[in-house]
Structures are given as structure tokens and as C-alpha cells.
Amino acid sequence: MSGRIGVLISGRGSHLRNLIACCKRGDISAQVVVVISNRANAPGLQYAAEAGIESIVLQHHSFPNRETYDQQIAKLLTDRKVDLVCLAGFLRLLSAEFVRRFPQKIMNVHPSLLPAFPGLHAQQQAIDYGVKLTGCTVHFIDEGLDSGPIILQNTIELIAEDNADTLSDRLLPVEHRTYAEAVKLFFENRLQVDGRKVIIRRAR
């Protein structure tokens, strides 16, 4: 039986589209079973519709606080027996209670080599700092900001002509590849968390 993925989005959904494609090709032994967006106009919802995947719009401003909102998302994911929650451009911080509901089962990709440049505008942060290499990080979510155990990282070189937009465009395919690989490893049961370290076990 293949694994079950729930994806949370807020925007264009390019990571969602990539994960759907990887699952359909059999690169990942899982399927995306539900997509939840906090924005009704998120373009990524179209990818879910085209793939025949259940999509749910749950607008956060309809709830009195973050905790209540997150409780509803958690219920939707639990009801659908989701094994892994993938954040794909979900522009909301998750509450500590939500994170505790899915220990080491929430994954995110960030466009920098964490712990460098957490938070928003990571590409511009890298350019402003003058680094020669940047990249992306796939990590498990914990209760901090972009601070969870690191699963995989990949790098690219900055070039003199880079601005935040061009760097983002060059980095995105690397993010797609790295995120898909991390999800694949998860469903192969090859990820072992030991404190801050994620150990990747050899394939059987």
C-alpha cells in the first residue's frame, strides 16, 4: 500500500505539481490525497483539480485564532489518514500544538542553506550577504522558524548578475529535485532522526 501525503499551499503550487508528478511516475511510493489552501485564489489548487485530488480551501481569517485554525487542518489531515504533511509555499507559521500532532511527519523546503537566512526573502538575504554559494534545505518542521532537523541540502553558485528573481528561478528546479528525494526517502523508511541530526539509512 502506498503512502498518503497531505499538501498545504498558499500560492502557485509548483512544489505540489512536482510532487504529484513524482508520485504518478512511481518515483515516490505514495500519493497526494488532499491539498489544503488558506487562500481561495491560490493557483496551485488548479493542479489538484487537474489531477483529481481532493482540495479544500480553509481561510484562516474565518477562525478566531491560529490554534483553532490549525486544529481544523489537523482534523482534516487525520481523517484522511495522512502519513506525511508537505508544506508547499504555505505562508503561515504552524502552532506548536499542530507540530506535536505530527511529530517528524511535517516536511518543508526552504530556499537557503539553513541555518543561514531563515524566514522570508532568503534569496535576497543571500545576495545582500555576499555569499558565493547558496541552495535549498529540506527539513522536518519543529516549533521554531525554519529550525527543524535538516534532511537534505543542495547548492548552487551565485553569479554577479543575480537578483532575487533570477536566483529564485535558478534555484527552483534544485528545490523540486531535493524535496522529491526527501519525500522518497521518507516513504522508503530511510530517515532516522537523532536529536538534531537526520540519518539516512542505506537502502535495503
Q: What b/e string do you get for 103-130 counting C-beta neighbours within 10 Å, with b at 16 or more?
A: ebbbbbbbbbbbeebeeeebbebbbeee
Q: Amino acid identity, residue 60?
A: H
Distance CA 122, CA 127 (A): 9
- Angle between helix 122-129 and helix 164-187 axes, rounded to 10 deg: 120
pLDDT digits (tens, 9 = 90+) for 37-56: 999 999 999 999 999 999 99
pLDDT, mean of residues 163-174:
98
Residue 104 reports pLDDT greater than 70: yes
What is the pLDDT, as a whole number, of residue 1?
62
Instruction: Output the CA–CA distances (angstroms, integers) from residue 57 to 31, 122, 144, in the order listed.
Output: 20, 27, 25
Exposed e or buried b for every residue in 36-63, given b needs 16+ CB within 10 A?
A: bbbbeebebbebbeebebebeebebeee
Model-wide pTM > 0.75:
yes
**pLDDT value at residue 44:** 96
CB 98 within 8 A of CB 24: no
- The confidence score (pLDDT) of residue 107 equals 98
**Domains assigned to the chain:** 1-102 (3.40.50.170), 108-204 (3.40.50.170)
The active-site residue out of 15, 60, 61, 110 is 110
- 110 in active site: yes
Cα separation of 111 and 140, whole Å?
Answer: 14
For residues 27 and 43, the answer to whether their CB atoms sit within 8 Å is: no
Q: SS3 for 18?
A: helix
Q: Mean pLDDT over all residues of the chain?
A: 97
The pLDDT, as a whole number, for residue 204 is: 81
Tell me what the mean pLDDT of segment 8-15 comes to: 97
